[in-house]
Amino acid sequence: MNIQAPTRPGTTSAAAAAIERELIELFVHVADLVGLPRSVGELYGCLFIASSPLTMDDLMRRLGLSKGATSQGLRLLRSVGAVRTVYVPGDRRDHFAAERELRPLVAGFLREKVLARLRNSAERLEAVRAVLREVDPAERAVLDDRVRRLARWHQNARQVLPLLLKVIEP
């Protein structure tokens, strides 16, 4: 007979279950806000709430997701540092736990999803500047102004991001 702590898995009351669903829904909204698929919000929400690490199978059952979606969602969450795997002795399966502090979460997201794009934009802008030098000066005036404005936008963005992290308390 496989005995688990009786308080945890089977005994959630209807009210507690409703709260869990509502909280997960909240994470789904956050995911949507930052442009991530619903399933990713559900996965993170489920792990955020859980009182101990869960396996892929736990998540699939609780959320009714397919294997593929679960695997890919977890991969994304790990890539931004929102979820980590936890070793559980005597169990070959991966166990996943949520990073519940806001700061590393935001940091990971900015690093992986925003900073990459910023770098890309910087390169494009630089390329544009190079071509712009070849353009006849009479025609160049307006474009010059626009490119300069964009460069300032970019500079602002780079200033703000680290500051943002500093403000979010650990």
Partner DNA sequence: CCTCCTGTTCATTTATTTTTGAACTCGATG
Partner DNA sequence: CATCGAGTTCAAAAATAAATGAACAGGAGG
**x/- track of binding to a copy of itself for residues 106-135 (CB under 8 A):** --------x--x--xx--xx-xx--xx-xx
Backbone angles phi, psi at 156, to 5 degrees: -60, -45
- Identify whether the C-beta of residue 106 lies closer than 8 Å to the C-beta of residue 67: no
C-alpha dihedral, 162 to 166 to 168 to 170, nearest 10° = 120
CA distance 14 to 156: 49
- 94 near a copy of itself (CB under 8 A): no
Of the candidate residues 24, 27, 40, 82, the single one contacting DNA (CB under 7 A): 40
Residue 67 touches DNA, criterion: CB under 7 A: yes
Strands in 83-86's sheet, in edge-to-edge order, are 54-55, 95-98, 83-86
d(CA 88, CA 99): 17
Binding to DNA by residue 65, rule CB under 7 A? yes
Tell me: does residue 27 bind DNA (CB under 7 A). no
Q: Which of residues 13-72 bind a copy of itself (CB under 8 A)?
A: 13, 15-16, 18-20, 22-23, 25-26, 29-30, 33, 35, 48-49, 51
Please count the other Cβ atoms lying within 10 Å of the Cβ belonging to residue 28: 19
Q: How many chain residues touch a copy of itself (CB under 8 A)?
A: 56
Q: Which helix (H) or strand (E) holds 96?
A: strand 95-98
Q: How far is CA 60 from CA 23, 42, 56, in A?
A: 18, 10, 6
Residue 12: which H helix or E strand, with range? none
Which residue's CB is nearer to a copy of itself, number 13 or number 90? 13
Site for DNA, rule CB under 7 A = 35-40, 55-57, 64-69, 71-75, 91-94
Site for a copy of itself, rule CB under 8 A = 2, 4, 7, 11-13, 15-16, 18-20, 22-23, 25-26, 29-30, 33, 35, 48-49, 51, 100, 102, 114, 117, 120-121, 124-125, 127-128, 131-132, 134-136, 138-140, 142-143, 146-147, 149-150, 152-153, 156, 159-160, 163-164, 167-169
